[in-house]
């Protein structure tokens, strides 16, 4: 078991500084000197490529007092009185490391804190400033002391920070951190004890403020979530809760509109049904039911049902996004794309789908054709195969008068082919009965295609890369596994899914499909865990690796798995030093849990 923390002396400070310098230059760690929690944080900070020489956290601003800040206020006021003669700063943050409040009686320490931007409105998450008493406490989930050179970023080495997590007394969710910060020279063993006891007092204050009304509202909210697959909102005078279905189904703009409409029912002691016209064009019905704690009004719970949307061109009501056969995804981003493609197919208006390779453009078009045209004719003409007879086949398809025609990878067409295809599209316009769709890359552009082909199409829809709607991985991964492993029960563990969601997926859905296919070929039933993921999925580096680097990364992962995370044995097998394997783990962002 590692020691809770230490008080840095000049000698231990020098040793720790040397250990930090060694890690930053070679990746080597001294487990006898650097605590396990600090080692883990240094590795995370290194993978996140946090600047080791400069402190530059993002300023996110504040939007008024939060429930946490209001509950903590009397506790922090009492603590400030107790520490009035001490050179200690009292800092309260939210669950993301955003500094909500700071109190400090020492002008000299205040200047140091301001210089490090450790002040209200700035984020002190690990991804912003590396190892520190706030961000590392949030990552570890336990009280954490970070002293002097244990900080990943050099300019923070003059501070000693004791952070204690604050949890919701009812739900147990992490709400924020109570952090006590002093200079290293003023640090003492009581900082950690004081931070923990203060966090506990804040949690007790939260429970007191929650009271019977909030608990009643929370119970009804949980019941509504358990018995409904739709979005749920609960609200009272100072509390708003929104379940994950609502957060995934509606983008932030629609969420704001829903909350604003919900306020129209707030305070009512009668059941009410409201209708909300959302900025995205969706129309939602909100069924409101009041909640009581005994005879006292406590708030209300609203169940959300999406009914329909309005066609922006005609003003008529259109149906909501249907279930798209062969596709998976419920995020607002993905749903809007599906809705746009479906509307175009139903109206018979020709369209262009743009996007990176592998995002699912053809899958979208197949799905909407199956939905709206059943087993009707569906033809794909790939521009990469354009040659003698290709344009003749396109002309035959356009003359058929029925079905769907997809011109795939239109950006690959040469000038002559673009001109000829433009003439065919002009001859057979959108009234011909054939629905035509073009797919192409967003970049690089083909000026000839832009100038001659795009004018034939009513509109263009951008299909987003997978990294822009990673929340759909919860649906997409099981969907793909079901298609790749028909007849066998193959699922994925939460930890493995979480690792997949950390990756950039530069090859998009097609890359994910190939990865899952490789896994399914090795494991045909059971649960996919972290150890089952291939090497390319065990790293979180954001750069594209060369083939040689990919092979090296996979070898490192394999050696670590064989030796159950023992880096010395893995390094020996690979013929590299301990320092080198640590550097490889850091550079490739390898995330290994044994």
Q: How far is CA 386 from the centre of its chain?
A: 40
- The whole-number pLDDT of residue 8 equals 57
* Domain assignment of residue 372, yes or no: yes
CATH code for the domain of 514: 1.10.8.60
CA neighbor of 329 nearest in space, from 356, 360, 306:
360
* Domain assignment of residue 223, yes or no: no
Answer yes or no: do 288 and 379 share one domain.
no
- The whole-number pLDDT of residue 9 equals 60
CATH code for the domain of 51: 3.30.450.40
CB proximity list for 110: less than 8 A, separation 6 or greater: 89, 104
- The whole-number pLDDT of residue 437 equals 96
- The whole-number pLDDT of residue 556 equals 82
Find the largest Cα–Cα distance for the chain: 88
Residue that is last in its domain, among 310, 340, 364: 310
Answer yes or no: do 581 and 532 share one domain.
yes
Which range marks the domain in which residue 401 is found?
Answer: 321-464
CA neighbor of 60 nearest in space, from 153, 135, 124:
124
Answer yes or no: do 255 and 291 share one domain.
yes
Structure token pair of residue 262: 């919900």
Residue that is last in its domain, among 250, 279, 310: 310
Answer yes or no: do 174 and 232 share one domain.
no
Say how many domains are in the chain: 4
Q: Is 349 helix (H, G, I), strand (E, B) or coil?
A: coil
What is each CA distance from 507 to 311, 312, 358, 359, 552, in whole angstroms? 33, 33, 6, 8, 20
- The whole-number pLDDT of residue 314 equals 46
Q: Is 386 helix (H, G, I), strand (E, B) or coil?
A: coil
Q: What phi and psi values does residue 441 have, to the nearest 5 degrees?
A: -75, 150
- The whole-number pLDDT of residue 537 equals 83
CATH code for the domain of 445: 3.40.50.300
CATH code for the domain of 258: 3.30.450.20
Structure token pair of residue 62: 């504040």
- The whole-number pLDDT of residue 571 equals 85
Answer yes or no: do 304 and 360 share one domain.
no
In terms of DSSP H, where are the helices of 288-351? 332-347
Q: What phi and psi values does residue 281 have, to the nearest 5 degrees?
A: 105, -10
- The whole-number pLDDT of residue 136 equals 95
Ordered per-residue pLDDT tens for the chain, 594 residues: 454 445 556 667 788 888 888 888 888 887 778 888 899 999 999 988 899 989 999 998 887 788 789 889 999 999 999 999 899 999 999 999 999 999 999 999 999 999 999 999 999 999 999 999 999 999 998 999 999 999 999 999 999 999 999 998 866 789 999 999 999 988 777 889 999 999 999 998 887 766 777 888 888 999 898 877 788 999 987 678 998 888 878 877 788 888 888 888 887 888 888 888 787 778 888 999 999 987 778 889 999 988 655 444 444 444 455 678 889 988 878 888 998 899 899 888 999 999 989 999 999 999 999 888 766 799 999 999 998 899 999 999 999 888 999 999 999 999 999 999 999 999 988 888 899 999 999 877 899 999 999 999 988 999 988 888 888 899 999 999 988 877 668 899 988 898 898 887 878 999 999 999 999 888 888 899 888 888 778 766 555 555 566 667 767 877 887 887 888 888 888 878 877 888 888 777 776 654
Residue that is last in its domain, among 283, 310, 337: 310
């Amino acid at each position: 078991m590692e020691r809770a923390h230490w008080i840095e002396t000049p000698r231990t400070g020098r040793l720790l500084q040397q250990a930090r310098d060694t890690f930053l230059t070679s990746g080597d760690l001294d487990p006898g000197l650097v605590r396990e929690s600090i080692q883990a944080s240094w590795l995370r900070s290194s993978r996140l490529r946090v600047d080791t020489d400069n402190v530059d956290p993002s300023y996110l601003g504040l939007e008024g007092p939060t429930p946490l800040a209001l509950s903590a206020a009397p506790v922090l006021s009492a603590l400030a009185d107790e520490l009035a003669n001490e050179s200690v700063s009292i800092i309260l943050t939210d669950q993301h490391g955003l500094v909500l409040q700071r109190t400090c009686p020492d002008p000299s320490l205040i200047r140091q804190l301001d210089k490090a931007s450790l002040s209200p409105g700035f984020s002190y998450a690990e991804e912003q400033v590396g190892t520190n008493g706030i961000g590392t406490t949030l990552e570890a989930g336990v009280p954490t002391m970070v002293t002097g050179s244990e900080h990943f970023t050099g300019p923070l080495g003059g501070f000693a920070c004791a952070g204690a997590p604050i949890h919701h007394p009812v739900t147990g969710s992490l709400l924020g951190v109570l952090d006590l910060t002093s200079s290293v020279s003023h640090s003492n063993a009581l900082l950690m004890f004081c931070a923990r006891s203060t966090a506990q007092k804040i949690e007790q204050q939260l429970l007191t403020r929650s009271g019977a009304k909030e608990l009643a509202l929370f119970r009804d909210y949980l019941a509504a979530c358990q018995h409904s697959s739709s979005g749920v909102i609960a609200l009272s005078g100072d509390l708003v809760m929104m379940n994950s279905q609502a957060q995934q189904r509606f983008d932030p703009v629609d969420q704001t509109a829903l909350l604003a409409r919900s306020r129209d029912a707030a305070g009512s002691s009668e059941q009410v049904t409201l209708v909300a016209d959302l900025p995205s064009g969706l129309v939602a019905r909100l069924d409101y039911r009041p909640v009581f704690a005994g005879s006292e009004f406590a708030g209300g719970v609203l169940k959300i049902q999406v009914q329909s949307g309005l066609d922006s061109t005609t003003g008529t009501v259109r149906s909501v996004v249907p279930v798209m056969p062969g596709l998976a995804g419920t995020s607002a981003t993905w749903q809007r794309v599906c809705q746009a493609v479906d509307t175009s197919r139903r109206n018979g208006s020709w369209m262009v789908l743009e996007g990176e390779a592998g995002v699912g453009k053809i899958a979208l078009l197949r799905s909407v054709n199956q939905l709206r045209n059943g087993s009707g004719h569906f033809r794909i003409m790939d521009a990469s195969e354009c040659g003698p007879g290709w344009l003749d086949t396109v002309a035959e398809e356009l003359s058929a008068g029925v079905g769907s025609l997809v011109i795939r990878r239109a950006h690959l067409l040469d000038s002559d082919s673009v001109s000829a295809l433009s003439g065919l599209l002009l001859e057979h316009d959108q009234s011909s009965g054939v629905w035509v769709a073009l797919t192409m890359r967003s970049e690089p552009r083909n000026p000839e295609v832009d100038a001659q082909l795009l004018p034939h199409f009513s509109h263009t829809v951008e299909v987003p890369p997978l990294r822009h709607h990673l929340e759909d991985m919860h649906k997409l991964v099981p969907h793909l596994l079901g298609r790749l492993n028909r007849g066998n029960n193959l699922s994925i563990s939460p930890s493995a899914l979480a690792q997949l969601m950390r990756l950039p997926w530069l090859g998009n859905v097609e890359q994910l499909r190939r990865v899952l296919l490789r896994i399914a070929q090795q494991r045909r039933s059971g649960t996919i865990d972290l150890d089952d993921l291939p090497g390319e999925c065990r790293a979180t580096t954001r750069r594209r690796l060369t083939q040689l680097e990919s092979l090296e990364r996979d070898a490192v992962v394999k050696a670590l798995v064989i030796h159950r995370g023992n880096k010395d044995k893995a390094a020996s097998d690979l013929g590299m030093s301990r320092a080198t394997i640590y550097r490889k783990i850091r550079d490739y962002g390898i995330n290994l849990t044994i």
